[in-house]
Amino acid sequence: MGRRSKGSVREQPGPAGYLIVDKPRGQTSHDVVDAARGWLGIRRVGHLGTLDPQATGVLPLVVRGATKLAPFFGHGNKTYVGTVRLGAVTDTLDGEGEVLKRYEGVLPDEATIRAALAAFVGEIEQIPPMFSAVKRGGVALYKLARKGEEVERESKKVVVHRLEVLRFDSPDVEISVECGSGTYVRTLAHDLGQALGCGGYLASLRRLQSQPFGIELAHSFEVCEEAARAGKMDDLLIPPEKGLDFPIVRLAAQGARRVENGGDISPGTLERSRPGTRVTALGADGRMIAILELRADRRLWPLRVLPA
């Protein structure tokens, strides 16, 4: 018998939604996606924001038709708890890399550290680390870094909403960070060390929130593996409409069919809303059907339609 291609393998049917995984240390985000594909028996799984291999915590995955919703995420705030180790600089800016330089002097006290951290709150400039997924000429920087190459990187503006010291036990500083998307906590750790004149790197990191999903919604690998053995993985999924901050409209059967076929519908009570207003459309059975947008013609048009 001929070998079937991946595209011809029938995937396990089930609902669309989000699976929030508490990523363990040492796993890449893609490793977690691959694991989830095995747990669910499907290929349509993606993630909503990379976590470094050494980091743990909230990694939201999109499952089945919810993969179509990925473009509507990525701009929410992130919350982390991490440990900055002062007194050394590494090539990866974290504890996984090689030490490039050690500081032999007396390390700064807590008051000096708190004062230095204040300069990193608000809109700041960051240079992406070489060991990152940022691309240069179509090639990820970490691939160049592994070859020993270092290239010029443009700084970018990021926002740090809150940055606090939770605990100080020299040389370690435990910090809490709330920041906008695109912020590298590794770079924060390195830049703090530079500002203090003693060097520093990120020794550990745990993500507690990737809006709108918090750690209380996250499942460990052990829980997911047990659910997979019991055939109950779909019970762990969060319905797709729960992750979107859009008003909800419920459609009758005729309107739902029209939207599923790419057609527009009447806005109803949304007629006086501003063009560009987006809503989540549910069918009579409560299943999410689509994201709709109010256009200048005062009609609701589908932006994304989820497969049945």
pLDDT digits (tens, 9 = 90+) for 188-213: 999 999 999 999 999 999 999 999 99
User: In terms of CATH, what superfamily is 78-208?
Assistant: Pseudouridine synthase (3.30.2350.10)
Confidence band for 94, pLDDT divided at 50, 70 and 90: very high
CA atoms within 13 A on the CB side of 99: 10
Domain with CATH 3.30.2350.10 in the chain: 15-74+213-240, 78-208
How do residues 13-27 score in pLDDT, each as one tens digit?
A: 889 999 999 999 999
Percent of the chain whose pLDDT exceeds 90: 78
Residue 7 has pLDDT above 50, yes or no: no
Q: What is the CATH number of domain 246-305?
A: 2.30.130.10
Residue 80: enclosing H or E segment and its boundaries?
A: strand 78-86
CA distance 259 to 26: 43
User: In terms of CATH, what superfamily is 15-74+213-240?
Assistant: Pseudouridine synthase (3.30.2350.10)
Q: Is the model's pTM score more than 0.85?
A: yes
Confidence band for 304, pLDDT divided at 50, 70 and 90: very high
CA distance 62 to 44: 8
Average confidence score pLDDT of the chain: 90
Tokens of 104: 């032999």
Using H for helix, E for strand and C for coil, what is the string for 10-74?
Answer: CCCCCCCEEEEEEECCCCCHHHHHHHHHHHHCCCCEEECCCCCCCCEEEEEEEEHHHHHHHHHCC
Confidence band for 6, pLDDT divided at 50, 70 and 90: very low
Q: What is the dihedral of CA 38, 43, 44, 45, to 10 degrees?
A: 40
Domain with CATH 2.30.130.10 in the chain: 246-305
CA distance 264 to 257: 10
The values of phi and psi at residue 138, to 5°, are 85, 0
Task: Report helix, strand or coil for 244.
Answer: coil
pLDDT at 130: 58
Would you name the residues annotated as active-site residues?
A: 52
Q: What is the dihedral of CA 21, 26, 29, 33, to 10 degrees?
A: -60
Tokens of 227: 């659910």
Residue 116 has pLDDT above 80, yes or no: yes
